[in-house]
Amino acid sequence: MFYNIKNFVLDLIFPKFCLGCQKEGTWVCPKCAQEILLVKSQVCPDCGRISKFGKYCLKHQKPHGLTGVLVAAYYEEGPLKELIHNFKYNHILEVGDFLGELLVEALSNNLTTGQDMIITAVPLNFWRQSQRGYNQSEVLAKYVANRLNENQSEPRF
């Protein structure tokens, strides 16, 4: 109950405005959320040919390291770029839940049930993290790990 009262007071003093269209009430309004184009077909990160799970095609496979890149949505289209920018640089951490859901959806659509995976955060420079107060990739990684492990007794992040 205290949480709801606190949020109500904060919303009165510092109202939320959609980061896409500036409509008052939420960081991402339903109209702007629909404008975010989700990636339907994953591609090889080097040549752009359709590739299952965003893996490198045979021509571009590397003997060690990264095997592919899974992309959730198109960065340059719609309000996604603005959401990510505000999440990273303007300390609007609440946007992390929305972005995390995009990642969960992409992973759920591209991975098989029971497939083992490791979710980790990209380390942030010590000075940058102390300046921001958080590592945005860690916030997202924890959110995604918790959501994907909801059926398990203990999340593995």
Angle formed by the axes of helices 95-110 and 80-89, nearest 10°: 120
H or E stretch covering 99: helix 95-110
- Residue 33: inside a domain, yes or no? yes
Query: Which pLDDT does position 84 carry in this prediction?
Result: 94
pLDDT band at 118 (very low <50, low <70, confident <90, very high): confident
Residues 148, 146, 129, CA angle at the centre, nearest 5°?
125
> Is it the case that residue 30 has pLDDT exceeding 80?
yes
Residue 56 is classified by DSSP as P
- Of 78 and 17, the structure prediction assigns the larger pLDDT to 17
> Is it the case that residue 148 has pLDDT exceeding 90?
no
> Is it the case that residue 16 has pLDDT exceeding 70?
yes
pLDDT band at 78 (very low <50, low <70, confident <90, very high): confident
> Is it the case that residue 155 has pLDDT exceeding 50?
no
Neighbours of 19 (CB within 10 A): 24
- Residue 153: inside a domain, yes or no? no
Q: How many Å apart are CA 45 and CA 48, to the nearest integer?
A: 6
Least Cα distance to 53 among 37, 40, 67, 42 occurs for: 42
- Residue 44: inside a domain, yes or no? no
| Domain limits for position 10 | 2-38+73-148
- Residue 52: inside a domain, yes or no? no
- Residue 143: inside a domain, yes or no? yes
- Residue 49: inside a domain, yes or no? no
- Residue 46: inside a domain, yes or no? no
Query: Which pLDDT does position 42 carry in this prediction?
Result: 93
Q: How many domains does the chain have?
A: 1
Query: Which pLDDT does position 82 carry in this prediction?
Result: 93
pLDDT (tens digit, 9 = 90+) per residue, 87-113?
999 989 999 999 999 999 998 888 766
Query: Which pLDDT does position 154 carry in this prediction?
Result: 47
- Residue 157: inside a domain, yes or no? no
Q: List Cβ neighbours of 31 (8 Å cut-off, separation of 6 or more).
A: 20, 21, 23
> Is it the case that residue 149 has pLDDT exceeding 70?
yes
